Amino acid sequence: MGSRLSAPGPQEKRFAAYIEGLANAAGHEDRHAPLKDYCKGLLLPGERKSIEPMAARLHPHNVQATRQSLHHLVAKAPWSDQALLDHVWQRVLPAMQKHGPVAAWIVDDTGFPKKGAHSVGVTRQYCGQVGKQENCRIAVSLSVATWDASLPIAYRLYLPKDWAEDAARREKAEVPEGVEFQTKPEIALDQIRAAVAANLERGVVLADAAYGMNTDFRDGVTTLDLQYVVGVQSSMTVWEPGQQPLPAKSRGKTGRPPRLLQRTTDHQPVSVKQLAMNLPSSAFKEISWREGTDRKLRSRFAAVRVRPAHRDYEKAEPRAEEWLLIEWPRSEPEPTKYWMSTLPPNTPLKALVKMGKHRWIIERDYQELKQELGLGHFEGRNWRGFHHHATLCIAAYGFLVAERSRFSPSARAGHLGFIAPGPAPDFRPRGSPRSPRAA
């Protein structure tokens, strides 16, 4: 085993070079060794990727000192998460782009069920992982995607209002003073602004209806000169094709001229569901958008040009026309999904569908980040630790993405051929009922 450890293979050499750059981005030299250990620990086989089990796998004869070193790196050391994530995408994105340009920037959020009420950000809220209201915390992310690969480039905890306004809990969880309550769309828009400022190659912004129904989010994306394809709910109101709100009233003899658009009893917007149900069947076309596991994915779609109607009676000009994309599978009694899009008016239906459906690509990212790299395994309670652990998980995952883009689509955490001694036979994590008594 010693000879194998002393002669690393090509992949381990690439990992060493990659991790050296990350260590430099973390700043102080004292952080370099634990950062390298932490990232390697995340990539090694093992069911649990919290600090103590990783320490036991990495240095079985020096577990406690390794644990303390890793804990300080993640929970205490004041390095910049964004600086490290910027270094990751600057290294990984060129490898992704060898197979094609950036296609999309994908907004998403992910939940982590968590017991108790003391871990930062934990409250009872909808958790997608379990599909219901649950005690959990949620993080908002922005990923950059080509047609073949994707990588998270920004990641931030959503701090619920009851947390943001509770000074005692904030202090105990070490929430930075500058962090105020923001909705998830507001967090996502900040992440998008930062990506624009970093001159990242632009892509079409994709998001589900939790973001797409937020008019300020859509307007913010447009203000940044970015296009979007975002999910919306069936209740969203629009003006039917060719229609728009009525102009302002005629000027009276006195006072300021009226400016605001009008609606009347007979001139009202409709819900996207109502519009879709009134379309002729000939408006829907069978479209396939990608290869699935065992067959091409296909469904029926229609697209029409409409104007969003949200509170336009408070505006002086009607909103610009956009695409309304509708999915209505043959087997369903009514449409199942809706999107709004600012892609150009001459965009073919298939291109609209392909882009709208491209959010699927980040599913593998989160599956591996959670199941293989332990994204949700951090056991600390503070703000810094939550973000540092996630940043290092994304950094380790970035190496996998680069390896796949290089030549190995099957590269997975725990299957890279990395060598580590592994835990001692009698190792038990602290708190285990079978933990041996200290000598």
Residue 294 within a domain: yes
| Contact criterion met (CB below 8 Å) for 272 and 339 | no
Residue 330 within a domain: yes
Rounded to an integer, what distance in angstroms lies between the CA atom of residue 387 and that of residue 100? Answer: 30
Burial class (CB in 10 A: 0-12, 13-18, 19+), 147: middle
Q: Tell how many helices (H) and how many strands (E) occur in the chain.
A: 15, 12
Domain that holds residue 302: 231-243+267-341
Do β-strands 204-207 and 228-232 pair in parallel, antiparallel, or remain unpaired? parallel
Rounded to an integer, what distance in angstroms lies between the CA atom of residue 36 and that of residue 400? Answer: 15
Rounded to an integer, what distance in angstroms lies between the CA atom of residue 183 and that of residue 105? Answer: 19
Residue 366 within a domain: no
How many residues does this entry show for the chain?
Answer: 439
Rounded to an integer, what distance in angstroms lies between the CA atom of residue 188 and that of residue 195? Answer: 11
**pLDDT the model gives residue 252:** 57
Q: What domain count does the chain have?
A: 1
> In what helix (H) or strand (E) does residue 125 lie, and over which residues does it extend?
strand 123-127
CA dist 227 to 65, 222, 240, Å? Answer: 50, 6, 22
HSE value, Cβ hemisphere, 13 Å, CA-based, for 231: 16
Using alpha carbons only, give the angle 248, 249, 250 rounded to the nearest 5 degrees: 120
**pLDDT the model gives residue 3:** 39
17: CB partners within 8 A, 6+ apart: none
**pLDDT the model gives residue 295:** 87
Residue 354 within a domain: no
Rounded to an integer, what distance in angstroms lies between the CA atom of residue 198 and that of residue 185? Answer: 20
Residue 154 within a domain: no
Residue 304 within a domain: yes
Rounded to an integer, what distance in angstroms lies between the CA atom of residue 251 and that of residue 247? Answer: 12
Rounded to an integer, what distance in angstroms lies between the CA atom of residue 259 and that of residue 153? Answer: 43
Neighbouring C-beta atoms of residue 78, cutoff 10 Å: 9
Residue 376 within a domain: no
**pLDDT the model gives residue 348:** 98
CA dist 61 to 49, 246, 337, Å? Answer: 18, 77, 55
CA dist 241 to 38, 60, 235, 275, Å? Answer: 55, 68, 17, 9
**Which of 406, 361, 362 is closest to 98 using CA atoms?**
406
Residue 332 within a domain: yes
* First-to-last C-alpha distance (Å) of the chain: 30
**Which of 193, 198, 206, 103 is closest to 145 using CA atoms?**
103
Rounded to an integer, what distance in angstroms lies between the CA atom of residue 12 and that of residue 16? Answer: 6
Tokens read off for 399: 């190496």
- The mean pLDDT values, 10 residues at a time, for the chain of 439 residues are 55 90 86 94 91 94 94 94 95 94 97 88 88 92 97 97 94 95 98 97 97 97 98 97 83 64 88 97 96 89 96 84 97 97 98 97 93 91 96 96 80 69 61 44
User: Would you call 338 helix, strand, or coil by DSSP?
Assistant: strand
**pLDDT the model gives residue 421:** 64
The 8 Å CB, 24+ separation contacts for 2-6 are: 4/419, 5/419
Task: Provide the whole-model pTM.
Answer: 0.90
Rounded to an integer, what distance in angstroms lies between the CA atom of residue 115 and that of residue 252? Answer: 63
